Amino acid sequence: MENDPSATAVNLLTGGRPKMSLFAFVRSRVLTGLFILIPAIVTVWITFFIYDTLTGWAISLAASVPELNKHLEDFWFKQGIRGISIVAMLIIVLITGELARNAIGRRFIKLLQEILMKLPILNTIYSTTSQIGEAFFSSQGGMFRKVVMFEYPYPGCWAIGFVTNENLERLEMDKKTGAEDLISIFMPTTPNPTSGFLIFIPRKKCVFLEMSVADGMRLVISGAAICPGDKNESGMMSSSTIEKMNKPKSQS
């Protein structure tokens, strides 16, 4: 059968690609746009939420001053106050860090800590947050140290978690339960790793993984859509993925 000249001309103009219906064209472009825009929008939203939370106190303080309150309707005036509050917080953090590096500053900080620890309710809040901060920023590498897998919720079904403490000294839990060498593991929920469960599991029943804590966290947040060893671990949508989404299916 001889080739149709008109079909040959269309193939030359389209680079030999099969025709795409209007519905398929719109669908592929919409999906591509969503995959590109959604991560960007979520990133901007989270950044704005943190920015608004950290600087909200400055807006409330300015609202209590009549001379400033009447200018708060001005968008740029409000952002200026927020910017000044961020600079002020950075200066306070720098001064506190510098004080902690000299003898007089350490004595003052110790005195302040002793006062806080003697106040009811505040002592519990301060001691808890202090311990959490020490766990996150300790020299051992942070609160989460290793990535492990263990059988949960039943044998043969595996879950992933992070070792928070290897409990080198025998704990009360070991003595009361009769278990040996219990380690503390935080099992996060997906896709929100800020919530989860604290589990004590015998070391021999844990499988220690080679992946880093950052890779393990990406695994949890993405619901295993992004696994260590993937070609594109950066989280950015690759050009090959975009090309595949926009490529029409070949007609049989």
CB 219 within 8 A of CB 226: yes
Asked if residue 199 belongs to a domain, the reply is yes
Residue 86: alpha-carbon gap to chain centroid? 22
What whole-number distance in Å separates Cα of residue 245 and Cα of residue 64? 54
Asked if residue 189 belongs to a domain, the reply is yes
Return the bridge partners of 163, or none: 146, 185
> Amino acid identity of 237?
M
Asked if residue 181 belongs to a domain, the reply is yes
Asked if residue 243 belongs to a domain, the reply is no
> Cis peptide before 155, with omega less than 30 degrees from 0?
no
pLDDT at 1: 46
Asked if residue 136 belongs to a domain, the reply is no
Q: What is the pLDDT of residues 130-186, one digit of tens each?
A: 766 665 665 454 567 789 999 998 889 999 999 988 877 777 887 788 777 888 899
pLDDT at 31: 84
- Residue 193: strand, helix, or coil: coil
Asked if residue 18 belongs to a domain, the reply is no
pLDDT at 80: 92
Of residues 116, 158, 141, 153, the one with CA closest to residue 214: 141
The two three-digit tokens of residue 99, written as one number: 């004080």
Our count of domains for the chain comes to: 1
pLDDT at 161: 92
Asked if residue 141 belongs to a domain, the reply is no
- Owning domain of residue 183: 146-221
Q: Note the pTM of the prediction, 2 decimals.
A: 0.53
Name the helix (H) or strand (E) containing 233.
Answer: none
In order along the chain (252 residues), what is the average pLDDT of each group of 10 residues?
Answer: 48 53 82 85 89 90 86 88 93 89 86 87 81 60 79 91 81 79 89 86 91 86 74 55 60 44
Asked if residue 164 belongs to a domain, the reply is yes
